[in-house]
Chain A
Amino acid sequence: MARQTRIRTKTQDGHTEILVLVNHPMETGQRVDPKTKEKVPAHFIQKMAFTLNGKEVAVADLGVAVSKDPLVGVKLKGAKAGDKVKVTWSDNKGESNSADAVV
C-alpha cells in the first residue's frame, strides 16, 4: 500500500505555501530493535519534488536527520488561484507516492 501523502496550500501576503505531510517511518539505520537486538534497516525519503502546473519548482533532498512523519513546506511566489501543484517523493527502498492540490 502506498503511504499516505497529504498536501495542502495556503496563500498569504502574496506568497503561496505548499505543505506536505507524509506517513513515513524515516528510519536512520542506527536504531536497534529492543527485541531482536538488531539494527533496524534504514528507510527514509531521499527526494521530494514539487511541480507547479507540470513545471518543476522545487526539489528537496531529504535524509536521515528528518523526523518521522515529516511535514515539508515550500513557499512559492507567483502562484495563482486555480494552479495545480503536485508533490512526488521517493525513498531509499524504492517506494514512492504523489499527491496533488489546487491553489
Chain B
Amino acid sequence: MKKILMLLAVLGLMGGVATSASAGPAEDLKQFRDFFKKKFPTVKFDEFANGLYALPGFEEYRASWNTYNEFPPYEFGLANGKKLWDTPFKNGKTFASCFKNGGKNTAQHYPYWDEKSQKVRTAEMDLMDCAKKNGAEPSFLKADLNKDTKARVQLAELTGYFYSLSKGQRISIDLSKPGAVKAYEAGKKFWWGRRGQLNFACANCHVDLAGKNFGGGQPLSAGLGHTTAWPAQRLDWNRIETIHFRYMTCNKQVRAKPLKHGADAYTNLQLYETYMSSGLPLTAPAMRN
C-alpha cells in the first residue's frame, strides 16, 4: 500500500513538473518577476531598468554611474546616430519613413515576430532593410558585422538613436502568434541552457548569482531589465554597441564559441529577454559597467 502511495506521489510530482514546463510565457513572466521581487525586496520594479546600479550593495557603482550620466560619453555616438537618421536618402526619404509614427515611441515593441518571414525581427534588421529599400549604402550593410567594429558601431549608434526616440516607453511584446511563442521557447532554452568550457548558462549568473560581485569591477546584473539599456555604452568599450555584440562577448566569457551577429539564436534570446523585461521603461542608450 505504502509503495503504491509513493508511486502515486512520484507520478503526481512528475505531472506537476510537466505542467509547469508547458506553462505559457505569461506564467514564466510572473515567475521571473516574483523571483527577483523576492531576491531584491528593496528594489522597486521600475528601478530594474537601471541594471546592476539598482541592486542593493552597489551604491558606489551607482554614485559613479550618476556622475557619468551628468555628462554621458555616449553623447558623441548618439549625435552620429542622429545625423545618420536625419540625413535623407537619394530619394529624399529618411529612416523615419520606414517606421510607424516616424520612429517615435515604437521601439518598445521590438524585437517582434514577423509572420511573413516567419522570423523574429530586431530594430537593427529593420534599419538595415530600410537603408537597402531606399538605395542607401551605409557601411554596415555590406561589412561583416562580426569583425568590422566601425560598421557595427555605426549601426549601433543609429539603433541607439532609434531607441532614444522611445525613451521611457514601457516594453510590451506581442506573443499572440504561435510562431512567436516558438521563438520565445527557443530563446528560453538558450537562456537556461549551459554552454562553453565553463559550462555556464545565462541564467546561472544573471538569475542565481545576480547581485553578486566576484571582483574585477564587474558585478553580475539581474536578468530582469537586461535589454532596456541596449544599445548601450560600456566603460570597458568606450563606444555604443549592439546587444548582439554583448551576447557574443558574454559567450566568449564562458569560453563558448560566439554565434554570428544577427544569428537566429540571438534574436530569439533577445525576444525572450525583452519579454521577461515587459513593463519596464526603455532607458537606451545608457552607460553600463
Contacts and interface: CB of A to CB of B under 8 A. Distances in A.
Interface of A: 4, 6, 8, 10, 19, 21, 23, 67-69, 71
Contacts of B238: 67-69
A67 B70 CA distance: 19
21 contacts: A4-B76, A4-B79, A6-B71, A6-B75, A8-B70, A8-B71, A10-B70, A19-B70, A19-B71, A21-B71, A21-B73, A21-B75, A21-B76, A23-B76, A67-B238, A68-B238, A69-B73, A69-B76, A69-B238, A71-B71, A71-B73
Nearest to A73: B71
Contacts of B73: 21, 69, 71
Contacts of A6: 71, 75
Nearest to A10: B70
A6 to B, nearest CB: 7
A103 to B, nearest CB: 16
A102 B75 CA distance: 20
A59 to B, nearest CB: 21
Contacts of A10: 70
A68 B79 CA distance: 17
Contacts of A8: 70-71
Contacts of A67: 238
Interface of B: 70-71, 73, 75-76, 79, 238
A45 to B, nearest CB: 15
In order of increasing CB-CB distance, the 4 nearest A-B pairs are A23-B76, A19-B71, A21-B71, A8-B71
A69 B79 CA distance: 14
A71 B74 CA distance: 12
Instruction: Pick from B70, B71, B73, B75 the residue with the most CB of A within 10 Å.
Output: B71
B78 to A, nearest CB: 11
A29 B71 CA distance: 28
Nearest to A70: B73
Contacts of B76: 4, 21, 23, 69
Nearest to A71: B71
Contacts of B75: 6, 21
Contacts of A21: 71, 73, 75-76
A40 B76 CA distance: 23
Nearest to B79: A4
A19 B76 CA distance: 15
A4 B71 CA distance: 14
A71 B79 CA distance: 17
Contacts of A19: 70-71
A4 B238 CA distance: 16
Nearest to A3: B76
A37 to B, nearest CB: 18
Contacts of B71: 6, 8, 19, 21, 71
A56 B39 CA distance: 54
A64 to B, nearest CB: 17
A6 B71 CA distance: 9
B247 to A, nearest CB: 24
Nearest to A68: B238
Contacts of A71: 71, 73
B153 to A, nearest CB: 13
A52 B261 CA distance: 49
A68 B71 CA distance: 15
A21 B71 CA distance: 8
Nearest to A69: B73
Contacts of A23: 76
